């Protein structure tokens, strides 16, 4: 009998398996797709030689992850590549605000009236990032924080809505960039704890950047799988699990799946019926005949580029997708251009590029024209660079990754109390009605992102049970 079986070979499932194998437990992973990866994959989606990331591409939480830092993933091929700027947010006038590794450069991009405000906002946390991120991503509700004073101070700033935080700024540049940071988790700007979302992404840029993985996000998953195999674990791909009886006998079962799938497989009925899924996304992967022709020079040097003219436009786009049940007229876009620093991703002189906007969960329309109108606003001539495009709306995204229910790449709404208390209000969020069954996906704390911390935290709950049994 195995000690543990993990269902789902995404970053969280693989991390949970590694953590258990490192402690001497026998582990097997079962994955429905032909390859490991979950939300960290790389494929040729458009033309031969163009290597695209179907989901995640930039990894501010991955490079800063306590779980990943504790593993020798570099030995297994993982290398982080950094752009000159982690992120840029261009404006219609051809200028841009930036998120730089340097606090001073970031502050200066906001203008003289807000530079000091920004420094005062982040300075209390920049020198304490390592302990703060460990506390923030390791369930302070059930574990004693390493730096309770800093965590409490962070909570005072971050727990209110982001709209409260941005009132500190005088001008629209800083407010708009922060609104874009909050929109990464598809949460309304006036939602609970959205200030923390924006602040975490900003601090992550100053601490470790927003890098891409050389060769694509698949490199993260491949490194985790290779390390697991060296620890004695096994990975079985192309193996769909429909019920617990499909799995070999084990002392514990760990699910890197949505709560809906877990309930269906384990027979939990309505246990997760209150769990909410958030907006979906419409994503386009591009093969380009050269770099994106951004009007703002800063955007040409950035890994991630946020597209939203101002806070009103970003807020309207989020409300349309999350509350009004319609696609936005001017979608807020998150875009990534990995081949600016990684020539292995495209043929010589060419580029890969992706962009997505938010749409209602399960939406079946086509957002291509709206996305490209937005891109043309900030990168005139963009369409002339397009060699090929691969589009994916919520149905295609959910078909590609079953955890993305209705196209929700966060595996559950990251708004309200569910931003932090997921998948249920519980002091044991990784446990389920079955004492031997656990959940470790992005539906569990600390939530979405390629960081492995949901798997890391769940593994702690599993090994405590295994030691007791």
Mean pLDDT to the nearest integer, 387-406:
98
Q: What is the mean pLDDT of the chain?
A: 95
153 with 94, same domain?
A: yes
How far apart CA 14 and CA 7 sit, in angstroms, is 9
Mean pLDDT to the nearest integer, 217-243:
98
Query: What are phi and psi for residue 315, nearest 5 degrees?
Result: -60, -40
Instruction: Report the relative pairing of strands 333-336 and 351-359 from DSSP bridges.
Output: antiparallel
Which residue from 438, 464, 469 is spatially nearest to 23, judged by alpha carbons?
464
pLDDT tens by residue, 178-201:
999 999 988 788 888 888 889 999
Q: Flag whether the pTM goes above 0.85.
A: yes
In a domain, 65, yes or no: no
The encoded tokens of residue 435 equal 């004492």
201 with 225, same domain?
A: no
Q: Which residue has the tokens 């000690």?
A: 3
Return the half-sphere exposure (C-beta side, CA atoms, 13 A cut-off) of residue 286: 26
100 with 202, same domain?
A: yes
Domain of residue 241, residue span: 2-47+216-275+414-468
How far is residue 136 from each of residues 153, 356, 455, measured CA to CA in Å?
Answer: 12, 27, 15
284 with 382, same domain?
A: yes
In a domain, 123, yes or no: yes
Please say if the pLDDT value at position 142 is more than 70.
no
7 with 43, same domain?
A: yes
Strand order through the sheet with 437-439: 234-236, 27-30, 2-7, 250-255, 437-439
* DSSP letters for 134-159: HHHTS-TTTS--SSHHHHHHHHHHHS
| Residue 139, pLDDT score | 60
Mean pLDDT to the nearest integer, 366-390:
99
28 with 159, same domain?
A: no
Q: Determine what percent of the chain is predicted with pLDDT higher than 70.
A: 99
Query: What are phi and psi for residue 33, nearest 5 degrees?
Result: -80, 170
Mean pLDDT to the nearest integer, 325-349:
98
Which residue from 173, 197, 199 is spatially nearest to 92, judged by alpha carbons?
173
| Residue 345, pLDDT score | 98
How far apart CA 78 and CA 214 sit, in angstroms, is 7
Which residue from 164, 169, 168, 170 is spatially nearest to 182, judged by alpha carbons?
164
How far apart CA 6 and CA 440 sit, in angstroms, is 9
| Residue 140, pLDDT score | 47
C-alpha of 209 from chain center: 14
191 with 103, same domain?
A: yes
How far apart CA 417 and CA 445 sit, in angstroms, is 12
| Residue 222, pLDDT score | 99
End-to-end CA separation in angstroms for the chain: 14
Helix (H, G, I), strand (E, B) or coil at 267: coil
Q: Determine what percent of the chain is predicted with pLDDT higher than 90.
A: 86
In a domain, 340, yes or no: yes
| Residue 94, pLDDT score | 97
Mean pLDDT to the nearest integer, 307-328:
96
195 with 288, same domain?
A: yes
Q: Which residue has the tokens 């991120």?
A: 133
**For the chain, what is the domain count?**
2
232 with 103, same domain?
A: no
Contact 239, 95 (CB under 8 A): no
Last residue of a domain, one of 340, 374, 400: 400
């Amino acid at each position: 009998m195995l000690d543990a079986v993990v269902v789902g070979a995404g970053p969280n499932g693989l991390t949970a398996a590694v953590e258990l194998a490192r402690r001497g437990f026998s582990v097997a992973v079962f994955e429905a797709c032909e390859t490991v990866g979950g939300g960290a994959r790389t494929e040729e989606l458009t033309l031969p030689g163009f290597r695209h990331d179907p989901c995640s591409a930039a990894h501010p939480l991955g490079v800063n992850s306590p779980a990943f830092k504790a593993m020798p993933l570099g030995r297994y091929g993982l290398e982080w590549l950094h752009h000159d700027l982690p992120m840029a947010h261009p404006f219609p006038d051809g200028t841009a605000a930036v998120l730089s590794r340097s606090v001073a450069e970031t502050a200066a991009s906001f203008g003289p009236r807000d530079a000091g405000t920004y420094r005062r906002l982040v300075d209390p946390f920049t020198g304490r990032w390592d302990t703060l991120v460990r506390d923030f991503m390791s369930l302070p509700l059930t574990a004693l924080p390493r730096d309770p004073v800093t965590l409490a101070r962070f909570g005072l700033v971050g727990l209110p809505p982001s709209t409260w935080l941005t009132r500190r700024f005088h001008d629209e540049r800083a407010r708009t960039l922060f609104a874009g940071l909050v929109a990464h988790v598809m949460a309304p700007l006036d939602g609970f704890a959205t200030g923390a979302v924006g602040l975490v992404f900003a601090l992550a840029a100053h601490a470790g950047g927003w890098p891409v993985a050389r060769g694509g996000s698949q490199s993260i998953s491949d490194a985790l799988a290779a390390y697991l195999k060296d620890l004695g674990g096994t990975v079985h791909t192309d193996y769909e699990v429909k019920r617990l009886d499909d799995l070999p006998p084990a002392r514990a079962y760990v699910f890197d799946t949505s709560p809906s799938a877990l309930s269906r497989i384990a027979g939990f009925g309505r246990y997760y019926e209150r769990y909410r899924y958030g907006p979906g996304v419409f994503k386009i992967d591009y093969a380009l005949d050269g770099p994106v022709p951004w009007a703002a020079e800063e955007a040409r040097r950035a890994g991630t580029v946020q597209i939203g003219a101002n806070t009103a436009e970003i807020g309207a786009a989020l409300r349309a997708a999350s509350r009004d049940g319609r696609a936005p007229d001017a979608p807020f876009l998150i875009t990534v251009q990995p081949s600016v620093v990684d020539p292995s991703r495209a043929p010589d002189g060419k580029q890969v590029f992706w962009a997505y906007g938010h749409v209602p969960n399960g939406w079946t329309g086509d957002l291509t024209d709206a996305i490209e109108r937005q891109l043309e606003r900030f990168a005139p001539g963009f369409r002339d660079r397009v060699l090929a495009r691969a589009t994916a709306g919520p149905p295609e995204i959910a078909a590609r990754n079953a955890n993305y229910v209705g196209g929700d790449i966060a595996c559950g709404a990251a708004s309200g109390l569910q931003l932090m208390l997921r998948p249920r209000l519980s002091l044991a969020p990784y446990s389920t009605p079955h004492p031997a069954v656990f959940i470790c996906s992005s539906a569990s704390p600390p939530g979405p992102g390629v960081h492995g911390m949901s798997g890391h935290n769940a593994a702690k709950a599993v090994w405590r049970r295994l030691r007791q049994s």
